């Protein structure tokens, strides 16, 4: 198997995670696409610098992070809203996800879907409003007609339940009842 074949396999295995990373820090979908492509081009050009003893996904995110920061400097008030600390925290979080059971991001997302379905309705609704519809906390308050503290607590409890469920599913490798 040549370098081109290996690169294609590694890209397929890490493309969804890289896209999620970029979407986490960039508001504009066109900019996400541009940064994704530039990351892949840079990775291809620097493939001989890749340390095969290290995770490929982390290497890609490192390249992407440098490109995001360069884009941020170029567009002082553009669609990018993160800093180096945020990029590092996201990368570390994705690295932990990558070490968990489940061979692909799709398998991990299926676990997340299962855990979301298992949430009590008020929590599932708050999570849907925040992360699917992108409502702000005040938007959730208005939509659900609840107080600031109530929406905050719902999201906090929902995140805790999701974390607990995901840890069980990904550790055991089986859906929880």
Residues 5-16: pLDDT tens digits? 778 888 888 888
CA distance 57 to 116: 26
Last-in-domain residue among 57, 82, 99: 99
How many domains does one find in the chain?
A: 2
User: Is residue 177 one of the residues assigned to a domain?
Assistant: no
pTM for the predicted model, two decimal places: 0.50
Last-in-domain residue among 47, 66, 99: 99
CATH of the domain at 67: 1.10.1740.10
Report pLDDT digits (tens) over 7-57. 888 888 888 889 988 988 887 889 999 999 999 999 999 988 888 888 888
- 170 versus 50: the higher-pLDDT residue is 50
Tell whether 26 and 93 lie within a shared domain: yes
User: Which ranges constitute the DSSP H helices of the chain?
Assistant: 3-25, 29-45, 56-74, 84-99, 105-118, 121-127, 137-144, 148-172
Please classify residue 19 by burial: count the beta carbons closer than 10 Å to its beta carbon, then call 0-12 exposed, 13-18 middle and 19+ buried: middle
User: Is residue 51 one of the residues assigned to a domain?
Assistant: yes
Asked whether the CA dihedral 168, 169, 171, 172 is positive or negative, the reply is positive
Tell whether 95 and 140 lie within a shared domain: no
Last-in-domain residue among 82, 99, 116: 99
The domain in which residue 44 lies consists of 3-99
């Amino acid at each position: 198997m040549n370098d081109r074949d290996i690169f294609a396999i590694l890209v397929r295995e890490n493309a969804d995670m890289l896209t999620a990373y970029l979407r986490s820090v960039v508001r504009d979908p066109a900019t996400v696409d541009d940064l994704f492509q530039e990351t892949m081009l840079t990775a291809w050009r620097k493939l001989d610098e890749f340390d095969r003893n290290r995770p490929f996904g982390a290497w890609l995110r490192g390249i992407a992070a440098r490109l995001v920061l360069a884009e941020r400097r170029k567009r002082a008030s553009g669609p990018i809203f993160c800093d180096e600390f945020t990029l590092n925290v996201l990368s570390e979080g994705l690295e932990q996800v990558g070490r968990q059971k489940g061979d692909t991001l799709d398998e991990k997302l299926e676990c997340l879907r299962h855990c979301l379905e298992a949430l009590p309705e008020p929590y599932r609704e708050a999570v849907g409003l925040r992360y699917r519809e992108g409502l702000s906390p005040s938007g959730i308050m208005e939509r659900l007609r609840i107080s600031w503290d109530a929406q905050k607590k719902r999201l906090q409890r929902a995140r805790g339940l999701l974390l607990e469920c995901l840890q069980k599913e990904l550790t055991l490798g089986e859906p929880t009842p």
